[in-house]
Amino acid sequence: MAHPSDILKKYWGYDQFRPLQEDIIQAIINGKDTLALLPTGGGKSICFQVPALMKPGICLVVTPLIALMKDQVANLKKRNIPAVAIYAGMFYQDVERLLEEARRGKYKFLYVSPERLQSNRFLEYCDGMPVNLLAIDEAHCISQWGYDFRPAYLEIATIRNHFPGVPVLALTASATPEVQRDICDKLLMRHPSIFTKSFTRANLSYSVIEEDNKPEKLVHILQRVQGSAIVYCRNRKRTREIADMLEQEGIAATYYHAGLTGEERTVRQELWISNRIRVMACTNAFGMGIDKPDVRVVIHYEATDGLEAYYQEAGRAGRDEKKAYAVMLYQQQELSEMQKALRLQFPEIPEIRDVYQALVNYLQVPVGSAEGIYYDFDINDFVRKFNLNITIAYSSLRILEQEGILQLSESVFMPSRVEFVISKRTLYDFTDMQPAFEPVTQTLLRTYEGIFDTPVPVYEKQLARLLRQSETQVVHWLQQLHQRGIIKYNQRKEEPQLCFSQERVSAQHLRIDADRIRERMQAYKIRLDAMIDYVRNRDICRTQMLVRYFGEKNAAPCGTCDICIEKRKRPLDGKTGGTVAEQLVAQLDKQPADWLAVRNSLPDIEEDVLLEVMQFLILEEKAGRDADGKVYLK
């Protein structure tokens, strides 16, 4: 068997692994169920891709993010590694073909959405599929105590029966100790190996600023901190307002949210990644799977409702390990509004039933139908037509999703479909009379087998390339053929989609577990309270607060957050500082030490004084911090 470093060098060109990667890989090679907590940008995908390439067979990767799936498959193909993804919206025939090819060993990686695992057809293909590793990305989604619980993840454990003896690797960037235990339990892990990289980011400075004039403060920050930036906003409208405002101030900016078309999102993302646009104003739809190392500042324009998401989003700054900043702007009113909105986030059962009834009326879904069918769904149009509170409506839909009644997706890519609805003789007569349409009809017939018998997926870009025309012209021709009754043309969809996971029932027969909703509400309240404590904190180092939330007790004060900087402004007696410095140097001369070890070894020194002297040594480049936050002498 090849050595992991040989695989890393061959396919990725790297000479060495990042911290913990090789340990995780070795645990998998040894057949151990494994949980890996690697902060954003920690190289999670390498941890399953390398061991899977070392073994015969295929790695089954479960991830909820279609965009991330496609991105990873594309990256693997660039390295000549055969990979494929199956996700919502694909044609039944294509799914069958890809699963059969996977079973025959054509691919090394098969990416699937968690919802796909519930399909009986998928489970049939699992029998005989040579799976060598089951990798679960965004594993916190399996825990109802996590911030992004998805019921489809609970089905993952059942698939283990099809692959006895195959190890499971669960990956996440942020999980509290309770969520970590829940992940291991729900995935039926046997004596799991658990690897946790320190949540400390030594190069990242955290600040929280109460600010009445946010636009002015935002511009001020971006003028002081040069380089690529992300500004996170809580709603889509705000992203556009901020991008427009920054452009007027002479700062190159664009905006991004799930309401844009796939093409618009791709173009804007590329402009930002290539540094032709400096600032991306966005919702939390932006950032997953984007590994841009040189982001210098991430600004949250409003307070968020949880430390898990905040830590991940802030952590997109400074992945090149150079100095970077994470800044949150807030107003006291926002915190009060988040606390008041708690009840709206968890509506009463009658309210949920009312939203469900309005939904089936809106989509015109009869009782006993709709299972597995995707509907275009614009929630703004929905709440407007039925005069609903948008927070209650959205929260009700999320609860219905968590109860396994429906699935709500920001977007599901469904390619265009074309079917000829006339005979071949009639088509011949039509093109004889309208020769301008002959190139496109002949190309359709040559390119897409079975197009006279059933609707088949067609790709306008492919047709444009074959016809040497613009995509706009091809779409125009297809629309004309549709209007003339020659073909049936269903144009591609990238709008938000809603799918019923079970047959539509009457609202009074909905099965909703009220106790489970109350438990989730309590878990949400705990997360919200932790976030509000973080925002209002004026005494404890920001890094210490963050990493303690994730169960890391021994982190040193960072010395660079707003709290630590404020404490450093206090003048220190020179004689005292010199004495403390001598003691600290003597202690560090033995070996690098974390904050707890330093503090325990010098218990008679005041904590603030010890921190200030430590920071002085670092600023004078007599000491430094490693990737795990330990202090060492230079």
| String of DSSP letters for 267-335 | HHHHHHHTTSS-EEEE-TTS-TT---TTEEEEEESS--S-HHHHHHHHTTS-TTSS-EEEEEEE-HHHH
pTM for the full model? 0.78
Per-residue confidence band for 360, with pLDDT thresholds at 50, 70 and 90: very high
- Flag whether pLDDT at 144 surpasses 90: no
Per-residue confidence band for 370, with pLDDT thresholds at 50, 70 and 90: confident
> Inter-axis angle of helices 438-447 and 460-467, to 10 degrees?
120
Per-residue confidence band for 42, with pLDDT thresholds at 50, 70 and 90: low
Per residue in 253-277, pLDDT (tens digit) is 999 987 787 778 889 999 999 999 9
Least confident of 183-192, 273-282, 305-314, 605-614: 605-614
Closest CA to 534 of 337, 198, 306, 231: 306
Average pLDDT for 535-559: 90
Least confident of 484-488, 527-531, 571-575: 571-575
| Helices and strands of the chain, counted as H and E runs | 27, 21
pLDDT attached to residue 612: 74
Share of the chain above pLDDT 70, in %: 95
Written as six digits, the tokens of 507 are: 């609202």
Q: How many CB atoms lie within 10 A of CB 464?
A: 16
Give yes or no for a contact between 423 and 464, defined as CB atoms under 8 angstroms apart. no
Distance CA 333, CA 440 (A): 59
Distance CA 479, CA 490 (A): 9
Give yes or no for a contact between 39 and 317, defined as CB atoms under 8 angstroms apart. no
Average pLDDT for 203-228: 96
Written as six digits, the tokens of 522 are: 């309590």
Kindly report the average pLDDT of the chain as a whole number. 88
Q: Is the dihedral of CA 121, 123, 124, 130 positive or negative?
A: positive
Distance CA 611, CA 624 (A): 13
Per-residue confidence band for 568, with pLDDT thresholds at 50, 70 and 90: confident
- Flag whether pLDDT at 135 surpasses 70: yes
- Flag whether pLDDT at 327 surpasses 90: yes
Average pLDDT for 344-364: 94
pLDDT attached to residue 388: 94
Q: Count of alpha carbons within 13 Å of 550, Cβ hemisphere only? A: 26
Per residue in 386-402, pLDDT (tens digit) is 999 988 999 999 999 88
Distance CA 629, CA 614 (A): 13
CA distances, 507 to each of 151, 374, 460, 501 (Å):
21, 20, 41, 15
pLDDT attached to residue 171: 95
pLDDT attached to residue 260: 83
- Flag whether pLDDT at 569 surpasses 80: no
